[in-house]
Amino acid sequence: MKDFDQRWQTLAREARRCPAETSVDIPLGFGTRVLALAQQSSGEAWEDVLSFFGIRATVAVTCIFIFSSGLAFSEWFESRIEPPMLERSLTSHLSWP
């Protein structure tokens, strides 16, 4: 792999040396077209919201949601566990006058 890397770097260096096509002029009416299109559509709202809050915030909210769901489920599950039958019968016998 090291040999390939070195050879790739040589190829990349050679490719960089190759001059780029030199059409640097701005096409006629390019600016007008761009400004018209920019005014026409004012961006995608969901994309702006996502970039504002960021992926990290979304991940954090998902983690909190999963954690709180787990907690709520465990509380609900524990409340369903009944005391064992033996304990119940002993309690009833002992409490008998």
Span of 25-33, 61-69, 72-80, 81-89 interacting with another protein by CB under 8 A: 25-33
CB nearer to another protein: pick between 32 and 95: 32
Reduce the secondary structure of the chain to three states and give it as a string. CHHHHHHHHHHHHHHHHCCCCCCCCCCCCHHHHHHHHHHHCCCCHHHHHHHHHHHHHHHHHHHHHHHHHHHHHHHHHHHCCCCCHHHHHHHHHHCCC
- Positions touching another protein (CB under 8 A) are 1, 3-5, 7-12, 14-18, 20, 24, 26-27, 30-31, 33-35, 37-38, 41-43, 48, 51
